[in-house]
Chains A and B, each alone.
Chain A
Amino acid sequence: MSNNVSRRHFLAGSTAAAGALSLGGASAFAADPLKVGFVYVGPVGDFGWTHGHDLGRKAIEKEFGDKVETTFVEKVAEGPDAERVIRQLASSGNKLIFTTSFGFMNPTIKVAKQFPDVKFEHATGFMTAKNVSAYNARFYEGRAVIGTMAGHMTKTGKFGYIASFPIPEVVMGINAFILAARKVRPDAEIKVVWVNSWFDPGKEADATKTLIDQGCDIITQHTDSPAPIQTAGSRGVWCFGQASDMSSFSPEYHATAILDVWDNYYVERTRAVMDGSWETSNVWQGMKEGMVQMSPYNERLPAEVVEAAETVRKGILDGSYLPFAGPIKDQDGKERIAAGEAMDDGALLSMDWYVEGVTA
């Protein structure tokens, strides 16, 4: 898989040296700080996805102090610009570069070929190379926790889900949520509205209102702005935050949020580069490693809801609760996963079908 991008003759040659000399003039003396670069798809102030990665960057700075020097480039478009930015980071002396969006995968692989002495870490993709690792978080574990809570909390049995784009990540999240919820409330269903954007507060708010008007009494989202939380809260509807703790936007109805916590992984990988132990890896970490966490439960939640959530969370931690354990039927009622089996990682990572109970 990883090699189908070596399509151009120039990539084969090692032209990296020429590039490495071009900018910044940062020659690596032993005492020099390790330069770590980050490529963000959104603004650091998005309060969602990019914000989370930027917290990870700050964790590196906090851990290593003046032994590291971090740089980031924000709002990099997924397309022709990405390759240039990644290359610029590599050629100005960054020895470890995190590219934090799926669309940066092919550019990362291309640039990595030209800079064999630079380590790259690409988030949410599937390609690796000698100096490129892939990493991702098992967000679906968090979805299973909030799905369970939603199953207990709902009266109407209808959930509203504000979604961005139907990539496997999002599809998987929707499925994990409703699978967990139906274990509590077998007749529950989920209505999905695609806003075709990761970030459009107005449209996300409109989608939230629409879903509430259609009888949904729990709102959750896979978009980046806190608008759904705010809107649901103002209508007195319980909701779950995304990527960061969004409780300030509805202290009353923000039940909990699934947090992306990249801190540990980023610190670990930086340390690995420093002590020379960095190796290519392809990890998918979850609650056990702390990459996925739940923000504090709302104090107004009934005790049994919190208890149910904690049971699932602990089950995930000790491996006794598998969010995608069979039997699983798809939207049309056909059995996809038999009882006693569970979906493996490969099937999950490319999931493009919905389970029973989803209207999408």
Chain B
Amino acid sequence: MTLDILVPIILTVVGSATPLLFAALGELVVEKSGVLNLGVEGMMIMGAVAAFGVAVSTGSGTLGIVAGAAAGMAMAFVFGVLTLTLAANQVATGLALTIFGLGLSALLGAGFVGIPVAPLAKLAIPGISDLPVIGPLLFAHDALVYLSLAAVVGVAWFLKKSRAGMILRAVGESDISAHSIGYDVIAVRYRAVLFGGAMAGLGGAFLSLSYTPLWNEGMTAGRGWIALALVVFATWRPWRLLAGAYLFGGVTILQLYSQGAGVAIPAQVLSMLPYLATILVLTIIAAGPWKGRLDAPACLGKPFRPST
């Protein structure tokens, strides 16, 4: 009985959390390398328009996904050239990237308004997907949902276990030391920034191909900003990020659900809940036994140029 209610709610939460998870996970890697890219919203919306445009033009959702990631990367490349090669200020460049992306996407997408696209296919496994509860919860999503979850595992492994991940963290903690022992700081950061762009692009692609398979100007509606906040929420840890994205998505759905159920609290107050809950939970974590561990990469946001 309760499961009948819970399962659809959880499915809605998955949709709401997945774009946030993609974008935030990318940004987490970027920030771990010591770079702060506030242009997530701009990369995301470019991913959304590119994915939609290509999917509509070619009829292939897969090509659309690839295009979304590529568009995010292209935007990230612009960011990289400015902040890494030319050592421009990262915060301002990121914000400028968002302005640029919102404008460019509107320009490119003008011809796609009002056109539907076939949503991404669900990867259903005959028999298993029809099982009660487990079937819809675990075996009836589209490829991007699984990819986002796999990416959490992948990023967690990469940062903690792989050598490249260790170098990336070293670059984020102390660029000068990393440089002096022979690592190419700029190259490492370029790779991280491009990865971040691709992930933001995938988040955008999920929006325009799966979540709401349509294109509209400004359809990211501020999700890039939430993704940025979630990285902080997660204290730069992939698994906590997963929890954060689902918490935020969950509370959002919960408040919509409460409105529909007629809870006697003003709608505006209910709408504040996701934001307040995120602050509250982070405070509880910070005040708990982990106290004092902010874990922000030491070089976050600081420009670096090798003295060659």
Contacts A199-B221, A202-B221, A209-B12 given; does A249 touch B116 at CB 8 Å: yes
Asked if A203 is at the interface (CB within 8 A of a chain B CB), the reply is: yes
Is A230 within 8 A of B212, CB to CB? Answer: yes
A203-B116 contact in complex given A194-B271, A209-B12, C-beta closer than 8 Å: no
- Report B254 CB to chain A, min CB distance, Å: 9
Q: Hey, what's the 0/1 contact readout for B253-264 against A, CB within 8 Å counting as 1? A: 100110111100
A-contact bits for B110-124, CB 8 A (1 contact / 0 none): 100111100100000
Does B211 count as interface, using CB distance less than 8 angstroms?
Answer: yes
Q: CB within 8 Å of A: which of B211-255?
A: 211-214, 216-219, 221, 223, 252-253
User: Which residues of B in the span 263-279 have a Cβ within 8 Å of any Cβ on A?
Assistant: 267-268, 271
The answer to whether B260 and A194 touch across the interface, beta carbons within 8 angstroms, is no
Residues of B within 8 A of A318 (CB): none
Verify A45–B12 contact, CB threshold 8 A.
no
- Please give, as numbers and ranges, the residues of chain A lying within 8 Å of B261 by CB-CB distance: 191, 214, 359
Contact of B12 among A191, A197, A210, A230 (CB under 8 A): A210
What's the least CB distance linking A318 to chain B, in Å? 34
Known: A199-B221, A209-B8, A248-B116. A227 touches B257 (CB 8 A): no
Contacting residue for B221 out of A201, A209, A231, CB 8 A? A201
Interface string of B86-125 (1 = CB under 8 A from A): 0000000000000000000010011001111001000000
Cβ–Cβ contact A206 & B259, under 8 A: no
Cα–Cα, bound, A45→B114 (Å): 8
How far, in angstroms, from A229 to B292 measured CA to CA in the complex?
A: 48
Decide: B262 and A191 in contact? CB cutoff 8 A.
Answer: yes
B218 contacts A199, C-beta separation under 8 Å: yes
Q: Could you give, for residues 201-235 of chain A, a 1 whenever the CB lies within 8 Å of some chain B CB and a 0 otherwise?
A: 11111110111111010000000011100110010
| B252 and A206 contacting across the interface, CB-CB below 8 Å | yes
Chain A residues with CB under 8 A of B37: none
A45 and B221 form a contact (CB under 8 A):
no
Interface residues of A in 106-128 (CB under 8 A from B): none
**A72 interface residue per 8 A CB criterion:** no
On whether A210 and B256 interact (CB within 8 A), knowing A196-B267, A201-B221, the answer reads yes
- Are A46 and B5 interface neighbours, CB within 8 A? no
- Structural contact, B114 and A202, CB atoms closer than 8 A: no
Which A residues are CB-close (under 8 A) to B106?
43, 45
Q: Is the CB of B260 within 8 A of A227?
A: no
Counting CB contacts under 8 A, is B33 at the interface? no
Question: Which of A43, A200, A216, A230 sits near B214, CB closer than 8 Å?
Answer: A230
B83 within 8 A of A: no
- The residues of B that contact A226 with a CB separation of less than 8 Å are 114, 214
In the complex, the chain A residue whose C-beta lies closest to that of B5 is A213
Q: Does B15 contact A (CB under 8 A)?
A: yes
Are A210 and B253 in contact, CB atoms less than 8 angstroms apart? Answer: yes
**For B11, B109, B253, which residue has the most chain A Cβ atoms within 10 angstroms?**
B253
Q: Are A234 and B119 interface neighbours, CB within 8 A?
A: yes
Instruction: Tell me the minimal C-beta distance from B263 to chain A in angstroms.
Output: 10
A193 interfacial by beta-carbon distance below 8 Å: yes
Q: Which residue of A lies closest to B220 (CB)?
A: A202
A192 at the interface (CB under 8 A from B): yes
Please encode chain A, from 326 to 342, with 1 for each CB lying within 8 Å of some chain B CB and 0 for all others.
00000000000000000
Q: How far is the CA of A227 from the CA of B207 in the complex (A)?
A: 11
Within 8 A of B (CB), among A149-184: 160, 166
- Chain A residues, CB < 8 A from B257: 210, 213-214
Contact B213 A230 (CB under 8 A): yes
What 0/1 readout, one digit per residue, does chain A (9-37) give for beta carbons within 8 Å of chain B? 00000000000000000000000000000
A266 contacts partner chain B, Cβ-Cβ < 8 Å: no
What are some 14 contacts across the A-B interface (CB < 8 A)?
A45-B106, A46-B216, A191-B259, A194-B271, A202-B211, A202-B219, A206-B15, A207-B260, A209-B15, A210-B12, A226-B114, A230-B213, A359-B261, A360-B267
**A residues with CB within 8 A of B:** 43, 45-47, 51, 160, 166, 191-197, 199-207, 209-214, 216, 225-227, 230-231, 234, 244, 248-249, 359-360
- Apart from A194-B259, A216-B260, what 17 extra A-B contacts exist at CB < 8 Å? A45-B216, A47-B114, A47-B216, A191-B259, A196-B267, A199-B218, A201-B212, A201-B219, A205-B211, A206-B253, A207-B256, A207-B260, A213-B12, A214-B260, A244-B114, A248-B114, A359-B261
